[in-house]
Structure 1
Amino acid sequence: MIINRAYRYELKPNISQRILLAKHAGCARFAYNWGLARRIELYQAEKKSTNAMAQHRALNKLKQTDFSWMYEVSKCAPQEALRDLDRAFKNFFTGLKAGEKIGFPKFKKKGVHDSFRLTGAIKVEEKAVQLPRLGIIRLKEESAIGGRILSATVSREVDRWFVSFSCEVAIPDPEPVFGDAVGIDVGLHHFAAMSDGTKIEAPKPLGKYLKRLKRLSKKHSRKQKGSNNRKKSALDLARLHRRIRNIRQDFMHKLTTELAKTKSEIVLEDLNVRGMLQNDRLSRHIADVGWGEFRRQLTYKTVWYGSVLTLAPRFYPSSKTCSCCGHVRDSMPLSIREWDCSSCGAQHDRDVNAAVNLKKYTRSLA
């Protein structure tokens, strides 16, 4: 089986390499914004569109006269940026036809979108990587890359540089997992309640560091704009955001890998997470637990390890249905955590009962 797999490592560049990395990121950002501005102007003037190749040829002509500084970086950086822009427009128009809400491409900002992608002659050694026009850059850990390298994406997170290799890897067809099927009901009181009665708590890093985050944000807002102290304050704030994200990702990867390797079938509800984030009272808590990322990781890991992911319909009444007799209640407010069935008298934990019903959903399809 052929799959695409990413390998991500932290770079250890010297001062001159850091400057060159920043130039590549700036050039890619400039090409993206230049291409977006040209597309908007062309449509407003002539009601026409263009594509990445046409814009790349036009940009190459301008290099000789207006943008000679672009010769300092690899040609792949602006070229791949224009391809990303082309893909963003295709996704936007595809979403319009399908009735989905996919935003119009936006201009990129310095310090927020500092990344670029390279193709071509990319070599990876034990603790170093060789990239076009950048030369050999040390890695902070030993590499273990398998398969054919398709591209390398270099990105900056706060004060660190990372490289992500997109590789085409041939893996043996996974053998089916012979573990039990499991229904999982995700929630806010517990991250996940399983059909076997197990409840998994989420780390909730945003809630844990919220007080410190507010203090740093307030401290940052008081600094004078353009001052060195404001830059230092922004760095501290960004580092805390990175720590919060890393804690959430670490928990998510460990949990999804264990489930995909040990459960033959995993049943989740097809939740409208984007719509639920519109709730002003619960949006921060929902974003903190990361339901969307949980589903995304299970989607590809179940394919890798031989298990199956099943999605119950969005309006499947898993919480309102008695798992013993099948009686369905008329309503179930979020405040009710435990309830008794009016038909058979069975006592239920709301989340575990929903997980049991999700597990039964697989049997109803068989």
Structure 2
Amino acid sequence: MGKVVKRAYKYRCYPTPEQAGQLNRTFGCVRKVYNLALDARTRAWAVDRQRSTYVQSSAWLTEWKRTEELAFLNEVSSVPLQQTLRHLQAGFAAFWDKRSRYPRFKAKRKSRASAEYTRSAFRWRDGQLTLAKMDAPLTVVWSRPLPSGAQPSTVTVSRDAAGRWFVSLLVDDPTVEPLPPLSTAVGMDAGITSLLTLSTGEKITNPRHERADRRKLAKAQRDLSRKGKDSANRAKARLVVARIHARIADRRRDHLHKLSTRLVRENQTVVIEDLSVRNMLRNHSLARAISDAAWTQLRSMIEYKAAWYGRTVIAVDRWHPSTKTCSACGRINTAMTLGVRAWTCPGCDAVHDRDVNAARNILAAGLAER
């Protein structure tokens, strides 16, 4: 029997004004504690060269709550405050392992507004969710059922820039099982004209979700720029812009989920390029199109779904000359320029579509590494 997968189920929720006020206070306290702990840990290292731990930051939290200035921290559940200290510890661990950069401070208008509750801070009974410090359960729209008998281990409540509320329940999902093994493998070449080109010759169209709403978004941003700072009209205009961005992101996420699920279900091995998207975004001519394509998000979805369903993902080195190498004879065409979409191999006279040829070379390189 395979390992049980932990899976998060996300739903829209509609808190009452009292519940929304309590959650907003919790978000503010979570952000405040995170920033205080980050500042204290940074100063401890800068002054005393001491590497602080989660245990020390938890002791600091107890001291902060006793001060008059930070007494408001006692008004919210202590569990989300402890959880944000654990998240900070994870951020430092990733920094020490050179997997990410140094943790940054959370800003009120830029950071994600969220709070995480563990089992001691919520009640799950008869399909109703009640959080700590609340008298009534949250109104949740159960758009899809949870696995039978599921008991959430963690609940995360969040609010996005468009003012929408969400609740995410982490459960053990026994319905996620390895799929029957296949003999098929596919290589993928990421692009802008076509979102993906497969080694089978199939080209998956780039929906260009941002372009569909570009005119509407530009008008909303112009309206926002004309509003007075900190005015009520500016807050309304900002919400209009945020809703357009949310609609674009929702469509993009839905498309990537469907595409990644299909690729993982139809192939035993998926070979991709190990692209440095962050560096590619420095190209100001292509930054908008690359961001809209969301290659990093697609790769993340493919990797975790492959782990769920017993598939293999292989990342080929980004410097592999997949575009200029002939997939038939292996000769490298050094004379080929970037704008060429189709070319003929000078060695074997094979005619190649540039993207299909690259996908086939990526597949061959990935299978050779296995």
Considering the TM-score relative to the shorter chain, is it more than 0.5?
yes
Contact 2:179–2:265 (CA under 8 A) maintained in structure 1: no
CA distance in 1, matches of 2:190, 2:178: 27
Write the letter of the residue equivalent to 2:53.
N
CA distance in 1, matches of 2:326, 2:183: 25
Write the letter of the residue equivalent to 1:144.
P
Among 308, 314, 322, the alignment partner of 2:312 is: 308
CA distance in 1, matches of 2:242, 2:104: 22
- The equivalent of 1:199 in structure 2 is 203
Greater alpha carbon shift after TM alignment, 173-182 vs 66-75: 173-182
Contact 1:127–1:141 (CA under 8 A) maintained in structure 2: no
For residue 363 of structure 1, report the CA deviation from its aligned partner: 4.8
Map Cα deviations across residues 206-229 of structure 1 (whole Å, 9 max, x no partner): 222223222222221211111100
CA distance in 2, matches of 1:233, 1:175: 47
Aligned ranges for residues 336-355 of structure 1 at < 5 Å?
Answer: 336-355=340-359
- The equivalent of 1:149 in structure 2 is 152
Aligned ranges for residues 31-42 of structure 1 at < 5 Å?
Answer: 31-42=33-44
- The equivalent of 2:178 in structure 1 is 174
Among 246, 257, 261, the alignment partner of 2:265 is: 261
Unpaired stretches in structure 2, ≥5 consecutive residues:
none
CA distance in 2, matches of 1:58, 1:39: 10
SS in 2 for 1:252: helix
Q: Does 1:119 align with 2:121?
A: no
Aligned length: 361
Contact 1:24–1:116 (CA under 8 A) maintained in structure 2: yes
Superposition RMSD in Å: 2.1
Contact 1:178–1:263 (CA under 8 A) maintained in structure 2: yes
Contact 2:264–2:311 (CA under 8 A) maintained in structure 1: yes
Write the letter of the residue equivalent to 1:235.
L
Q: 1:33 to 1:186 in 2, by over 3 A?
A: same
CA distance in 1, matches of 2:284, 2:133: 48
CA distance in 2, matches of 1:283, 1:33: 31
Contact 1:127–1:142 (CA under 8 A) maintained in structure 2: no
CA distance in 1, matches of 2:48, 2:363: 56
Contact 2:187–2:359 (CA under 8 A) maintained in structure 1: yes
Contact 2:193–2:206 (CA under 8 A) maintained in structure 1: no
Contact 2:271–2:362 (CA under 8 A) maintained in structure 1: yes
- The equivalent of 1:83 in structure 2 is 86
Aligned ranges for residues 1-366 of structure 1 at < 5 Å?
Answer: 1-66=3-68, 67-95=70-98, 102-113=100-111, 114-121=113-120, 122-124=122-124, 128-134=128-134, 135-142=136-143, 144-146=145-147, 147-157=150-160, 158-170=162-174, 173-178=177-182, 180-365=184-369
For residue 362 of structure 1, report the CA deviation from its aligned partner: 4.8
CA distance in 1, matches of 2:202, 2:126: 42
CA distance in 1, matches of 2:322, 2:330: 10
Write the letter of the residue equivalent to 1:81.
T
Identity of aligned pairs, percent?
34
Contact 2:269–2:313 (CA under 8 A) maintained in structure 1: yes
SS in 2 for 1:326: coil
